[in-house]
Structure 1
């Protein structure tokens, strides 16, 4: 696989990955336009705009984009995150140029017409209403609010009913104008590519992105609040223990890799430390998961345990005990080698499809991390038990966490 990066005069970054004999080619457009960039009282704007992008452009009627992509034998999707938003289309290689024209037309020149805007606002509000009824979502948002306030990362990506209702189409057009500009955007295409791919991209409508964006006063450092709280959650089945710790910013790739290795040793598979002790042997928990929320300004390590409500107290005590003793010889060289192998496998599994490759390369390029897509595999060898003891296990100290104990509301 050959990967090349370059920039257009307007600052837009371009990445291509030539994958010979790939059955499908992915066109992935990334923008620094996630919920981090929303103004106060306009939370939900970035996600709402993602909806409106698909409602047509200057030269595409509502619904026309989807029909034309489908006629090419392709599909499309989009996702809004805290830091960024991305849109992709997947098409047969011979239809790549037409697919690129369609997605750039849609993204760069959205109509945002008033009637469609008001109708889609109701769709977004219904999505919010459904979301806030889900116990998992309630718990997650309470945790973010407690440990990250006042940073914008503490706000829900969907916004809430009040903020979304207050957004008007003029504000949305301004948000698009200010953020969908050259220096904030990356186009990544992965798959079997035509020989004139560079000419196709350089002469595409991507060059019409404006150069200058209005500067937004975005904080450059997350806050993290330690603490402890108990909550009653409607419709929750059983008890939940959630812990959050501060994680390094996304640019600290080697340290994040170390945290991933540690999380794998703790709870990935029956032989992992916590699963083996608390689920397989003592049988006091039902499940445990550790997720790394990797964010540009500083992310989170999120631990989530499900257990019978009557086991909450003992489960929390046992978890804290294990976490406290991590750097006291609990982890063996055999545990480390097993975890490294699983992490390497996950990296390879996550790069099997053109969509996965385009997403990984596009995100890296958007944030200025021009490195080999497999660099993490080379970095694995850096991690030894002594380095984990020194640099990673202290991150998991219960005293540095925000802990949320969730119980069913009677």
Structure 2
């Protein structure tokens, strides 16, 4: 994997971005990618699962499904057929903070695809007769998710680490909350959240002639403005502690640790956290992989990830090993984390991490879909900037500042630790 991270000198500034806002607060951004073969249209909204109120759990994701059941102008399935006929594809995703719908389309079909996308998302029919049928689809999705031991272990970690916070509950919701929902509740959620400054449209690809005028006259301009800027839930704070569970059909034991980190708005700290997790757990030369898998040979895999979120980012460490090696692996992890907190990292470790994080960002700019998503996300949360601007932030981190500000936080006593072992719960 590290061979793919050769030092890159191309893309010094990233795609050129043009930001503007409609009178009702909708954010818009065009990312010019002259060499791209396709155009990506990506519509984002601050309407993820963390915006759900009591008894709305799972509503944001359920609404994503219902959007594709048709609009005031499009019958169920017509949107997909129209987009495919234009030579494109579509998809959507619901997260904790936001939801987005995107279309990847030949550039000369972008105008028509834009009209179709906006009609589908902004004017969904949310028909009563489709509501029950699609709810059954979502309930089956929840059942399939519950049947995957690895996924359930991760959900258990989140639930124990963030009790009472939306980040601690499943994005899909639970059957009881879905069964109690009505089309009226869903319509209210859509009307309340899909408006004004809660929405952002990004277009990435070759030059789109007349783009600004077309968007300014589109259905986006007809959205009502938000009367006030809502404040989401309080910041997520990980509750430290150690837990042990047994999970039926789990193939290998799991050692997981979860730490709270700065919210997405604190970009400097977030980028430092990206460096820190790279030092500890990305690639064969990282400290945890090198010691636990290469040297001691007591684990199968080591994964350390940073999930950047608006209400507090999360750092997750997941280790797979045999049950008899769990205790030894946990001791080795604690030793490595303590070592990182006690003394600055080596110069080569810092240089390697800067290179990997920087190149990961550069590689993301090769795809119109990823560029549109990055640009839209920044605009949606009022942080418009050049897509490679985070590389400048990386320069502020040194071996000493990483040690003093981050590695002292990424310690076992500040983590929620979950040991998941194969076998039926007692």
Shift of 1:213: 5.5
**Are residue 46 (structure 1) and residue 60 (structure 2) matched?**
yes
**Are residue 9 (structure 1) and residue 23 (structure 2) matched?**
yes
Per-residue CA deviations over 1:349-380 (Å, capped at 9, x if unaligned) read 11111101000000000001111100111222
Partner residue, 1:277: 291
Relative to structure 1, the CA distance from residue 217 to residue 295 in structure 2 (aligned partners, 3 Å threshold; closer, same or farther) is closer
Aligned residues, how many? 410
Shift of 1:215: 7.3
CA distance in 2, matches of 1:167, 1:393: 44
Shift of 1:274: 1.2
Partner residue, 2:321: 307
2:202/2:375 contact within 8 Å kept: yes
2:300 to 286, 289, 311: 286
CA distance in 1, matches of 2:361, 2:183: 41
2:44/2:380 contact within 8 Å kept: yes
2:344/2:399 contact within 8 Å kept: no
Per-residue CA deviations over 1:140-192 (Å, capped at 9, x if unaligned) read 11111111111111111000111111111110000000000011000000101
CA distance in 2, matches of 1:298, 1:230: 25
What does residue range 5-404 of structure 1 map to in structure 2 within 5 Å? 5-212=19-226, 218-329=232-343, 331-404=345-418
Q: What TM-score, normalized to structure 2?
A: 0.94
Shift of 1:220: 2.9
Shift of 1:329: 3.0
Per-residue CA deviations over 1:53-86 (Å, capped at 9, x if unaligned) read 0010001111110000001100000000000000
Shift of 1:331: 2.1
Partner residue, 2:8: none
CA distance in 2, matches of 1:329, 1:215: 44
1:149/1:223 contact within 8 Å kept: no
Shift of 1:396: 0.8
Q: What TM-score, normalized to structure 1?
A: 0.98
CA distance in 2, matches of 1:38, 1:354: 31
CA distance in 1, matches of 2:162, 2:52: 16
CA RMSD in angstroms comes to 1.3
Give unpaired runs (5+ residues) of structure 2: 1-14
1:54/1:62 contact within 8 Å kept: yes
CA distance in 1, matches of 2:250, 2:335: 26
The 3-state SS of whatever aligns with 1:52 is helix
When structure 1 is superposed on structure 2, of 74-83 and 10-19 the one drifting more is: 10-19
Give unpaired runs (5+ residues) of structure 1: none
